Structure 1
Amino acid sequence: MPNSVLLKDLLILTKDGEWGKGESSDDTEEMFVIRGTDFANVRYGDLSEVPIRFISKQIAERKRLEPNDILIETAGGTKDQPTGRTVFLKPRLFERSKRPITCASFSRFLRVDTTVAVPEYVFWYLQFLYHTGEIEQHQVQHTGIARFQYTKFAQSIEIPLPPLPEQKAIAHILGTLDDKIELNREMNQTLEAMARAIFKSWFVDFDPVRAKMEGRQPAGMDAATAELFPSEFEESALGMIPKGWRVGTLGDLIDIKHGYAFKGEFFRTEPPGDILLTPGNFAVGGGFKDDKFKYYLGEVPEDFVLDEGDLLVTMTDLSKAGDTLGYPAIIPVPRRNRYLHNQRLGKIIIKRDALISKLHLYYLLRLDAYRNEVLASATGTTVKHTSPDRIKAFEFPFADNGISLKFEQVISSLICRISLNDEQSRLLASIRDTLLPKLLSGEIRVKEAKKLVETVA
């Protein structure tokens, strides 16, 4: 049996976070401040959503994070996602950062004594304790906020420590799977940026039209596709648009079907059951999120079972800013569970003979111009609402010559690759989460796990 050591005795330093302020002064330092809500992105090396704040230089020096630190959330959380989440700060996160990094209040950093334990191994053990509910047992409600009693936890929880080489091997196996998920994520960001760039070039900036006006062949486009674009502009209610195009509304081309009011008594936060989609499954900026599912065990009208490739928009948002209001998501390949069309989500139905593609609509509904109109017409204060009629009133330039269908054909390979990467990442995450308790308990040996990971990754 490996030795077990109290968490507090594994650390050479631990401090709580610092929020800082928005204005700079002579005695402040500009830093990234990681919040609990940033953990998911930071885990995969993404600092793009992390706020930049100004910290007192004296405090900044004491709370400057380093590679291989572990962050642990000490307050916040929800019923479905308890506080006490952790994130491991990989060295490459700091290689990408142009500023020093700290963590916000309601979290703290743990710096492991590397002569005793491998930091990433300690992180994975904390992940194991979170998933088994052990960390949740140290959570209390205080003035309406869930707080994690870190000090009591660190003084009572013992972490089994096999020899350092074995700790390193276990961390490497789990980290390899995580790295592959990160690689897929980065690849998908690149593919997504390419698809959005093509859409913007064709339907917002009208680059092929400008090229033809200048006597050039549109870049990256075959002659048949270039033929679909005119070589001049004309005036319209929306300004200059390609000649022969028209200004229409979404309502000319689509209908929006309301979801079903499923009965709350059959809701569940854990499987089994069908997956009941909510606005929480829509990403800010558009896209599908699969990290927070609700499940439903009641009877389901077949008309409200969604198919792969269905396009939905969210018509309610619980945030004051309406973070996801009106944004679209495409239903991915169904898992063992069906996806259900819940109320306050609108299913886009393209009208018969409308020459517009689903992917054209998907990227159109992510434009700032559309987003601004949805927010401007939204109702509600605490909860924001929109409606099918408000969404369908959006005007945009459109051509009835099949160019929209050609766009989908051009980018379909990119979208297919994104979908395949997502499916692979889900498989890798499932394998990682299955191996985690088995490796830590010794149920599966390192050599066996290593062979499995080499085969999969």
Structure 2
Amino acid sequence: MSSWHNLTINDLGQIITGSTPPTKKTEYYGNEYPFITPTDMKIDSRIVHTERFLSQTGYEYNKNRLLPPNTVCVVCIASIGKTCMTTVPSVTNQQINSIVVNQQKHDPYFVYYLLRTKTEVLHNIASGVASPIVNKSTFGNLEVYVPPLPTQRKIAAVLSAYDDLIENNTRRIKILEDMAQTLYREWFVHFRFPGHENVRMVESSLELIPQGWEIIAASEAMFINPRTSAPRDTKKPFVPMKSATENSMLITDVEEKTGNSGAKFKNGDTLFARITPCLENGRTGFVQFLPNGTEIAFGSTEFIVLRSKTLNPYFVYLLAQTHDFREHAIKSMTGATGRQRVLNQCFDDYFLPNPNQDILDQFESTVISLFRKVQNFAEKNTNLRQTRDLLLPKLISGEIDVSELDIDIDIDPKSN
């Protein structure tokens, strides 16, 4: 530990505060340089995927603020403490201070993990002013405790190994979910299910549909907020709205609470956000985290619970993720601007082709393994995060000494 030094963030590299090009000048925006904002950054991910990109013209406007790969970005206004790393030349908005790490003296990934441990400190600094903000000067003067470069690389290698596994599992989850969505579209939108060549298409009130299928309302095909009882006084899993991830079936960070007000559900149910902007942002979860088929959980009052009646649970979830279904629900919203909610009655006039039971059974047997694998990978990620988060403060503080460990740091664990 005698070789560790007290430094400031200024000592780690060059600090760059981002800037937003005028949004009215559309020529500044294109598809070349990722434009990072706090909304793009996830609390628990090194990687950032941006909604917007700058054009070459936008780059010229912001060229003094261009960030090279392996720059560490930290939100210092609003969502203070969110941290990510660039993988390609990028630009951020003004809410983010970034450190272009001096790689002759410091490891960028060590700096990333170091700043992950400073979230509470940054929050405390920001809470002392009227508008929560950590300005560039204050940020740069923040004190940090840093080991020699070889030890930095070893610490980064240990922690990166966990994040690499998490990122690989996350990519697998995305692939599995895309596969399920593709199968749904093939079978029930394009009607290319197994054996479709031998099935005659017949007229219906909507379109040509396979013979033996019928057109019914969504409210006939599924239960909308089915009556489900749950004891009030015992602790049960509770799902707040934030636990339904955007554009994924995963339900994360489940809490434990007493009470029974709000949505009540069981394994196989779909949780459909009813309020703006959660619905528009794609918050729809599939319940499969409960340990047994009889357990009941509850959650936010802003969920609509969808439960299969004539379909199957997997069909219901995949239907709820389709653009047409969501747009129909969004058009039914009423209420004050910013707090609009879906009307349950909207499912009475959304119609769909209800397949015959044989096709539904085949579909369930085809996709059930995809859904289970998604849950398995999600549980592995939960365990990996817990272990990494236990190690993180102990490695960064030097409580766990890795300086003498034989850790292979020639193989870069940081490439993505």
TM-score grouping bracket, smaller chain normalisation: 0.7 to 0.9
Amino acid at match of 2:247: G
1:443 aligned residue: 399
2:123 aligned residue: 136
Kindly indicate whether residue 274 of structure 2 is the aligned counterpart of residue 285 of structure 1.
Answer: no
**CA shift for structure 1 position 148:** 2.4
- For residues 448 and 407 of structure 1, the distance between their equivalents in structure 2, rounded to whole angstroms, comes to 51
Across the two proteins, how many residue pairs are aligned to each other?
Answer: 395
**CA shift for structure 1 position 113:** 1.4
Contact 1:138 1:153 in 2 (8 A): no
Q: Which runs of 5+ in 1 are unaligned?
A: 78-82, 95-99, 209-224, 267-272, 452-457
Amino acid at match of 2:147: P
Q: In structure 2, do the counterparts of structure 1 residues 385 and 57 end up closer, same or farther at CA, with 3 Å as the change threshold?
A: closer
The structure 2 residue matched to 1:85, chosen from 82, 87, 91, is 82
Alignment deviations for residues 390-434 of structure 1 (CA, whole Å, 9 cap, x no partner): 234321111233312221110111111111111111110111100
Kindly indicate whether residue 299 of structure 2 is the aligned counterpart of residue 341 of structure 1.
Answer: yes
2:275 aligned residue: 316
**CA shift for structure 1 position 142:** 6.7
- For residues 349 and 139 of structure 1, the distance between their equivalents in structure 2, rounded to whole angstroms, comes to 45
TM-score, scaled to structure 1:
0.77
- For residues 36 and 26 of structure 1, the distance between their equivalents in structure 2, rounded to whole angstroms, comes to 20
Alignment deviations for residues 22-45 of structure 1 (CA, whole Å, 9 cap, x no partner): 545599995320111111299454
Amino-acid identity (%)? 21
- For residues 297 and 24 of structure 2, the distance between their equivalents in structure 1, rounded to whole angstroms, comes to 42
User: Tell me, what secondary structure is at the counterpart of 1:32?
Assistant: strand
The structure 2 residue matched to 1:200, chosen from 178, 185, 188, is 185
For residues 11-410 of structure 1, the aligned pairs below 5 Å read 11=13, 13-20=14-21, 21=23, 23-25=25-27, 30-40=32-42, 43=45, 45=47, 47=49, 49-54=50-55, 56-77=58-79, 83-89=80-86, 93-94=87-88, 100-130=89-119, 133-140=120-127, 146-155=132-141, 157-208=142-193, 225-226=194-195, 230-257=198-225, 275-290=237-252, 295=255, 297=257, 299-301=258-260, 306-318=265-277, 322-324=279-281, 328-334=284-290, 339-351=297-309, 354=310, 356-380=311-335, 381-410=337-366
Let me know the Cα RMSD of the aligned residues.
3.3
- For residues 435 and 75 of structure 1, the distance between their equivalents in structure 2, rounded to whole angstroms, comes to 28
Q: In structure 2, do the counterparts of structure 1 residues 46 and 433 end up closer, same or farther at CA, with 3 Å as the change threshold?
A: same
- For residues 165 and 31 of structure 2, the distance between their equivalents in structure 1, rounded to whole angstroms, comes to 34
Amino acid at match of 2:325: Y
- For residues 161 and 67 of structure 2, the distance between their equivalents in structure 1, rounded to whole angstroms, comes to 23
User: Tell me, what secondary structure is at the counterpart of 1:372?
Assistant: helix
- For residues 439 and 197 of structure 1, the distance between their equivalents in structure 2, rounded to whole angstroms, comes to 43
**CA shift for structure 1 position 192:** 1.1
- For residues 52 and 60 of structure 1, the distance between their equivalents in structure 2, rounded to whole angstroms, comes to 12
Contact 2:307 2:313 in 1 (8 A): no
**CA shift for structure 1 position 253:** 2.3
User: Tell me, what secondary structure is at the counterpart of 2:41?
Assistant: helix
Amino acid at match of 2:16: K
- For residues 269 and 407 of structure 2, the distance between their equivalents in structure 1, rounded to whole angstroms, comes to 39
TM-score, scaled to structure 2:
0.84
Q: In structure 2, do the counterparts of structure 1 residues 393 and 449 end up closer, same or farther at CA, with 3 Å as the change threshold?
A: farther
Q: In structure 2, do the counterparts of structure 1 residues 259 and 300 end up closer, same or farther at CA, with 3 Å as the change threshold?
A: farther
User: Tell me, what secondary structure is at the counterpart of 1:443?
Assistant: coil
